[in-house]
Amino acid sequence: MELNDFIEKFAEQFDETDASEFKADTEFKALDEWSSLSALSIIAMIDDEYDVTIKGDDIRNSETIEDLFNLVKSKA
């Protein structure tokens, strides 16, 4: 799995935040648009695209998009 591809799919879960704002080091929980609903969309995307079911703690323990990418990669 590719980091850039993951970032692109991550960005697709957001309606209001411009795709260009999503980078490997983006602290996603600090985004204005981030909410408990976006968290569910991210869990769904990861399950759907990578066949990995992450849990709440995985989101809580990740700061950047790359952190989450590495976590998913380790479970894939």
Partner 1 sequence: MAFLEIKNVRLAGVSAGVPSTILSNLDSQLSTEYEPEAFVKQVGVKERRYSEILTTSDLCYGAAEKLIADLGWDKSDIDGIIFVSQNADFFLPATACILQDRLGLSKECYASDLNLGCSGWVYGLSYAASLMTSGTIKKVLLMAGDAKRRTKQTLVDPIFGSAGTVTALEYDVNAKAMQFHFGTDGSGFDAIIIPDGGARNQMTVDSFHEELLDGKTLHRFQVRMKGMDVFSFGISTAPKTIKKLASNYGFEYQDADYFVFHQANMQMLGMIQKKLKIADEKMPTCMYEYGNTSSASIPLTIVTQLKGRFENKPTKFICCGFGVGLSWGTVALETNNVIVSDLVEMSDEEVDKKYVV
Site pattern 26..45 for partner 1 (x: CB under 8 A): ---------xxx-xxx-xx-
Token pair for 38: 């976006």
Regarding 4 and contact with partner 1 (CB under 8 A), the answer is no
Token pair for 47: 């399950």
Regarding 55 and contact with partner 1 (CB under 8 A), the answer is yes
Q: Nearer Cβ to partner 1, position 23 or 56? A: 56
Integer CA distances (angstroms), 9 to 6, 19, 44, 49, in order: 5, 10, 11, 9
Closest listed residue to residue 41, CA positions, set 10, 19, 4: 10
Contacts with partner 1, residue ranges (CB under 8 A)? 35-37, 39-41, 43-44, 47-48, 53-56, 59
